[in-house]
């Protein structure tokens, strides 16, 4: 694989080139709308918001392609770690700028929505699409069991502070210190998980899932990732600025906007690859990619934002969330654990996961 970076020229397939060019144009359009202050005559800030959301989705897709290209040069475990770190950049920036704007409810909902979108909507779609084409999907169950265990830990770190506050326990009066302790615990567990990925390759996404016919040199992949990281930071700021007036014009409450719209725009596009892999019959790869994406949000991104919020000023981001969000998250992870524990799934399982997602989203439509 190392010979690729030395001898092979930069070869990018036509489809990827078109997508990268389209993403660059969307970022340029978002920048033009932001700095010119232009608003469409009838839809106003909705157009700005949609353009920024599409630009973020495009950046997320290009990040996914670049990290996949690293799989041609690095081992699958290291590639998985890089993918986990870089793929969360768009959502991380959106959450940071939202916290700076005081949109704590939206950030809470978008993070929970990102987890629900992966474990319910995307995994459900993967099972429906794969099950329709291949019947019963069979996948290795060790990794899903381990991920489900860690997800239940992350859910506990959200549910218990919420209960402490709602039940007026003494710990509920120390919301910030409790959030810091939980965040540190989750980050330590994430580091242990990362070490396990690096030392036990079977827990990482296999290298076949990252293979690409048109291989990029490693330096080119890193340059693309750096450019996408910078672009994600800029577009996320513009996205958040356009978000508030857009959801007010559409009559959508902050919780629903975060749970569904921001969550999907921030992180779901790059994980559609999981649905594609399920359609190809690669159930192991599909389940691993989708569940690992939810895991990195739960045990890395959420605790990281708790710590970052203390340096941002304004209202701190804690782990005490609205009780209905905590219940929805707990039930979702429990259902996913039951569905994946035996290493088998079909269309019915997928339909059940999607149905639960629709029910939860509908509940929050009214606030």
- pLDDT tens for the chain, 367 residues long, are 444 444 445 567 778 888 889 889 999 988 888 887 665 555 567 888 888 888 888 887 787 777 777 766 765 556 656 666 666 777 788 888 888 888 888 888 888 988 998 899 989 999 999 999 888 888 877 778 888 888 899 888 888 888 888 888 888 788 888 888 999 999 998 888 877 766 765 444 554 555 555 677 878 888 888 888 888 888 888 888 888 788 888 888 888 888 888 777 666 555 667 787 788 888 887 887 788 888 888 888 899 888 888 787 767 788 888 888 889 999 999 999 999 888 889 999 999 999 999 999 999 888 7
Instruction: Determine the structural domain holding residue 257 and report its residue range.
Output: 2-365
CATH number for the domain spanning 161: value is 1.20.1420.30
Q: Give backbone dihedrals phi and psi of 286, rounded to 5 degrees, phi first.
A: -60, -50
Question: How far is the C-alpha of 217 from the C-alpha of 224, rounded, in Å?
Answer: 11
The answer to whether the predicted template modeling score (pTM) of the entire model surpasses 0.85 is: no
Query: Among candidates 38, 70, 69, which has minimal Cα distance to 51?
Result: 38
Dihedral of the alpha carbons of 167, 170, 174, 179, in degrees to the nearest 10: -60
What total of structural domains would you count in the chain? 1
Query: Among candidates 42, 115, 86, 30, which has minimal Cα distance to 291?
Result: 115
């Amino acid at each position: 694989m190392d010979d690729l970076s030395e001898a092979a020229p930069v070869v990018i397939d036509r489809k990827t080139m078109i997508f990268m060019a389209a993403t660059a144009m969307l970022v340029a359009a978002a920048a033009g709308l932001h700095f010119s202050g232009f608003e469409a005559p009838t839809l106003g800030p909705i157009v700005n918001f949609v353009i920024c959301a599409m630009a973020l989705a495009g950046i997320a897709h290009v990040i996914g392609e670049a990290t996949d290209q690293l799989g041609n040069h690095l081992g699958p475990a290291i590639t998985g770690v890089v993918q986990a770190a870089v793929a969360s950049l768009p959502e991380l920036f959106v959450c940071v700028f939202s916290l700076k704007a005081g949109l704590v409810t939206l950030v809470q909902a978008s993070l929970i929505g990102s987890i629900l979108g992966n474990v319910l909507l995307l995994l459900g779609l993967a099972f429906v699409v794969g099950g329709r084409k291949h019947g019963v999907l069979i996948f290795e169950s060790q990794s899903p069991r381990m991920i489900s265990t860690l997800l239940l830990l992350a859910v506990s770190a959200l549910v218990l502070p919420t209960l402490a506050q709602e039940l007026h326990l003494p710990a509920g009066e120390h919301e910030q210190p409790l959030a810091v302790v939980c965040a540190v615990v989750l980050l330590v567990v994430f580091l242990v998980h990362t070490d396990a990925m690096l030392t036990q390759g079977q827990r990482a996404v296999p290298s076949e899932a990252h293979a690409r016919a048109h291989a990029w040199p490693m330096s080119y992949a890193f340059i693309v990732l750096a450019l996408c990281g910078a672009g994600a930071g800029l577009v996320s700021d513009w996205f958040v600025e356009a978000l508030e007036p857009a959801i007010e014009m559409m009559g959508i409450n902050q919780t629903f906007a975060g749970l569904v719209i921001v969550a999907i725009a921030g992180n779901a596009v790059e994980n559609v690859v999981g649905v594609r892999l399920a359609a190809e019959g690669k159930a192991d790869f599909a389940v691993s990619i989708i569940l690992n994406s939810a895991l990195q949000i739960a045990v890395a991104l959420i605790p990281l934002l708790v710590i970052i919020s203390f340096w941002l000023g304004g209202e701190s981001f804690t782990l005490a969330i609205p009780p209905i969000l905590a219940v929805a998250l707990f039930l979702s992870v429990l259902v996913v654990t039951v569905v994946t524990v035996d290493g088998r799934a079909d269309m019915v399982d997928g339909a059940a996961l999607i149905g639960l997602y629709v029910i939860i989203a509908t509940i929050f439509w009214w606030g």
